[in-house]
Amino acid sequence: MTNVVAIVGRPNVGKSTFFNRLVERKQAIMDNESGVTRDRHYGQGQWNGRFFTVIDTGGYVTGSEDIFEKAIRGQVESAIMEADFIFFMVDCKDGLTDLDKDFSKIVRSAGKPIFLITNKADNQQLRLASNEFYALGYEQLFPISSTNGSGTGDLLDELVNKFDPELEVMDEESIPKVSIIGRPNVGKSSLINALTGKERSIVTDIAGTTRDSINTRYNLFGKDLLLIDTAGVRKKSKVREDIEFYSVMRSLKALQESDVCLIMLDATQGLEGQDINLISLANKYKKGVILLVNKWDLIEKDTKTANKFKKDFEEKLGPFNYIPVIFISVLNKQRIFKVIELALEINDNRSRKISTSELNKVLLPVIEKTPPPALKGKYIKVKYITQLPIATPTFAFFTNHPQYIKEPYERFLINTIRNNFDFSGVPLKVVFRNK
Architecture category of domain 3-161 in CATH: 3-Layer(aba) Sandwich (3.40)
pLDDT in tens, 16-54: 889 888 887 654 433 344 444 445 667 778 888 888 888
Is the full-model pTM beyond 0.75?
no
- Tell me: the pLDDT tens digits for 97-116? 988 998 898 889 889 999 99
C-alpha closest to that of 246 among 220, 272, 212, 208: 212
- Residue ranges per domain, the chain? 3-161, 172-350, 356-434
Same fold, 3-161 and 356-434: no
The DSSP string of 132-144 is: GGGGG--S-EEE-
pLDDT at 345 over 90: yes
pLDDT tier at 239, thresholds 50, 70, 90: very low
Q: Phi first, then psi: what are they for 377, rounded to 5°?
A: 75, 10
Which CATH number describes the domain made up of 172-350? Answer: 3.40.50.300
282's CB contacts (< 8 A; 6+ apart) are 181, 255, 261, 263, 289, 427
Is the Cβ–Cβ distance between 62 and 11 less than 8 Å? no
Domain 356-434 adopts which CATH fold? GMP Synthetase; Chain A, domain 3 (3.30.300)
Q: Which residue has the higher pLDDT, 188 or 219?
A: 188
* pLDDT for residue 76 is more than 60: yes
Q: What is the pLDDT of residue 395?
A: 96
